[in-house]
A and B are shown apart, each in its own frame.
Chain A
Amino acid sequence: MPPARLNGPADLARFREEALATEQRYRARVLICMTGCRSLGATELGRAFREKIAAAGLRNEVSIVDVGCHGQCSLAPVIVVEPQDYLYGGVKPEDVDEIIEVTLRQRRPVDRLCQRVGDKPVTTVGEASFYRSQHRQVLAHCGRLDPTRIEEAVARDAYAASAKALTTMDPEAVIAEVRGSGLRGRGGAGFPTGVKWDLCRKAPGDQKYLICNADEGDPGAFMDRALLEGVPHQVIEGMIIAAYAIGAAHGFVYVRAEYPIAIEHVSAALEQARERGLLGENILGSGFSFDIELRMGAGAFVCGEESALIASLEGHRGMPRPRPPFPVQKGYLGKPTVINNVETLANVPLILARGKDAYAAIGTEGSKGTKIFALAGKVQNTGLVEVPMGASLRDVVFDIGQGVPDGREFKAAQMGGPSGGCVPAQFLDLPIDYDSVKKIGAIMGSGGLIVMDDQTCMVDVARFFLEFTQDESCGKCPPCRIGTRHMLDILRRICSGRGEEGDLERLEGLAEEIKMGALCGLGQTAPNPVLTTIRYFREEYESHIRDRYCQAHVCPGLFRYLILDEKCTGCGVCLRRCPAHAIVGERKKPHTIVPEKCVYCGACFEVCRFSAVAKVRPGGGSDE
């Protein structure tokens, strides 16, 4: 029998009561991240928990819930035990017995699975350094509910905001609310969401479309993935509200095919919402109809650009077109279309539920609400971080992220992926919002935040991003197709020790022309990583060009590996591991590296137990 259709807000409220009552029959919930943590064995862990809980006779008291991302991915696999909110990391199936005995029976924490400050265990989510300074409102339910069960979402007020909008507000009032909240697009450019909706609503045409841009392609950004996987109903609810505001009857979720779990969870969520009458024909008896189709991308970064995304949906090669006309005027099939990013849409239910003023109370003058960052790279705590707009980089990297590991020094944070830039240490205390980040040459972008230390070569990073954009350039406009190619050639020369005087000026000149001339955002922002690294790390470029030396010891040929005679025991491990057979030497006697054969893979450096392999200036001896 299909589940009962909900015909109005009263039905929804009743459904919520029932869902809550079902959950409250259990005295404890074990929340296992079954998304990102699957890569480190969460599936086996879940199986062990289910078997052992049943064997312990606790099946009617404790519920084992597969949830989305808890956020602190560096602890994977992560579990949280409610109601105490104990946070355990690196949990293995063999830990389950102890968790059942100590936590689920005796209701105490298992100290050895907790994080530590000094020798004191930090047992709960609320106390953990990673969570303490966050303001998790968009991610509030991510990791707290089973995304494949609509009951769990509804128990946490899912669809209450869309019900309120559809049954008590007219579309203009919804737009006014979102405009008043100050919400700006979280996909990168930061365009005011309410203004976009208003333009689309007012654009002539009877048919309008809404697209949720879930083609999260920026390397290093995974917040959209976490939202789709962990709280799909929140995104769908945001879409329903947006569709009602602009007057769309049809919408798409355009999701990267590289995200199979997101696709699975969104499909299931759409199906369940439809069955309940929360999506589709005559939603909650309001007379408003809107349905959503899930489309998979086919592997083209440029399709994150809105006009290319539309081309892709229409069945074309994903190439952007000149604007105006903008998609709000002429979008999918030539009809007015709003394209919003996943995180933007996930913010919408909050605004409707709390009211624009409460929402706008958080953030800075020009950027309201919170931003989710995907924190990764050379930082202790990696994962998803949600902070108020205006938090500083220091808050995120040193307080929440707990700084750079191995006692290394912070060098820069890369913000905004291939369209963004590298922010050096001098800006650690700058409040981060759309406008401040733009002023220093980066962009907020989608929120990827990669921490780099003194072992990261900034010239190499610039080359890395240019390789990416050059590879992903669709080839339509010459500034991007040819211009970025020229920039990449110059960077490759510099990184291989063939840089020339004047190269930096050539790069800057090309960058300006590409920024002005490229057709779409991909090309216009492609020079940013190069420009910010030249601006803040010019001496590193100069060292590559003039001294043929890479201080970070990254660029092959601009440093070399050297075996230190006084430390080498002649054990032969490096010799056997060297894939290029570049190491020679007799057993028990110091070995040497033949520089002409070395491929700079670093295998010898990594396997040597005596720290006998050093990285030094090419030609010279040790400089460390």
Chain B
Amino acid sequence: MTAAETTSPADLGPALRIVEEMQPITESSIIPLLQRLQSSYGYLPREVVLDVCERTALPASRVFGVATFYAQFHLAPRGRHLIRCCRGTACHVKGSHSIAQSISRELEVGKGGTTEDLRFTFETVACLGTCFLAPVIMVDDDYYGTVKPAAIGGILSKYE
């Protein structure tokens, strides 16, 4: 998901459409609802979520409780490119710790962080399920397998 494809939080149109399409909305719908909002806005803008809560009569405390529990929901804007560094077991034994450190050093952000220019968001993930590529990172939808720490700078320079 890149910022270019997403809606500004000032535009409530997509949120209203999602709410309408998902009727009847019950508590069981909270996660799918948040997933659709996030895929439209790129993150979960506070004002959009509050507005949706009001329209659906879902308590905001309940909805934010869910949004803050799951790793995939984001309450702040994300970078144009998402870097995911796999920290699964196979990647770990093949040195992914150093890969994650190199990325952090290169971007000057910690895991979960977004660079100030909104170019990159850096996440570590438990397992990408591509253990045969270990250690592996993904930038957006591109995989980079058997990565070495020294190669990180070169990989990242391909993304503007």
A295 beta carbon closer than 8 Å to chain B: yes
| Total A-B contacts with CB atoms under 8 angstroms apart | 144
Q: Which of A304-342 contact B (CB under 8 A)?
A: 312-318, 333
Chain A residues closer than 8 Å to B143, beta-carbon distance: 39-40
Q: Which of B3-11, B16-24, B127-135 interfaces with chain A?
A: B127-135
B107 beta carbon closer than 8 Å to chain A: no
Partner of A450, one of B32, B90, B101: B90
Give the nearest-CB partner of B153 in chain A.
Answer: A579
B31 beta carbon closer than 8 Å to chain A: yes
Chain B residues closer than 8 Å to A312, beta-carbon distance: 31
Q: Which of B118-154 contact A (CB under 8 A)?
A: 125-134, 136, 143, 145, 148-150
Q: A300 near B32 (CB under 8 angstroms)?
A: no
Q: How far is the CB of A266 from chain B (nearest CB, A)?
A: 15
Greatest chain A CB density within 10 A among B32, B94, B129 is at B129
Q: How far is the CA of A296 from the CA of B134 in the complex (A)?
A: 26
Partner of B26, one of A216, A315, A318, A377: A315
Chain B residues closer than 8 Å to A298, beta-carbon distance: 31, 34-35, 70-73
A606 beta carbon closer than 8 Å to chain B: yes
B93 beta carbon closer than 8 Å to chain A: yes
Q: How far is the CA of A600 from the CA of B99 in the complex (A)?
A: 11
Q: How far is the CA of A265 from the CA of B133 in the complex (A)?
A: 23
Q: A219 near B127 (CB under 8 angstroms)?
A: yes
Chain B residues closer than 8 Å to A448, beta-carbon distance: 89
A74 beta carbon closer than 8 Å to chain B: yes
B28 beta carbon closer than 8 Å to chain A: yes
Q: How far is the CA of A301 from the CA of B90 in the complex (A)?
A: 18
Q: B149 near A219 (CB under 8 angstroms)?
A: no
Q: How far is the CA of A577 from the CA of B66 in the complex (A)?
A: 44
B30 beta carbon closer than 8 Å to chain A: yes
Q: A579 near B102 (CB under 8 angstroms)?
A: yes
Chain B residues closer than 8 Å to A607, beta-carbon distance: 150
Q: How far is the CB of A217 from chain B (nearest CB, A)?
A: 6
B110 beta carbon closer than 8 Å to chain A: no
A residues with CB within 8 A of B? 36, 39-40, 73-74, 76, 216-222, 225, 257-259, 295-301, 312-318, 333, 374, 376-378, 382-383, 414, 417, 448, 450, 452, 456, 461, 464-465, 468, 472, 474, 577, 579, 599-603, 606-607
26 A-B pairs in the complex with CB atoms less than 8 angstroms apart = A39-B133, A39-B145, A40-B133, A73-B131, A216-B129, A219-B87, A220-B127, A225-B129, A296-B32, A298-B34, A298-B71, A312-B31, A316-B66, A377-B93, A377-B131, A450-B89, A450-B90, A461-B89, A461-B93, A474-B69, A599-B101, A601-B101, A601-B102, A602-B95, A606-B148, A607-B150
The 6 closest A-B pairs by CB, nearest first: A376-B131, A299-B71, A219-B88, A298-B70, A73-B132, A39-B143
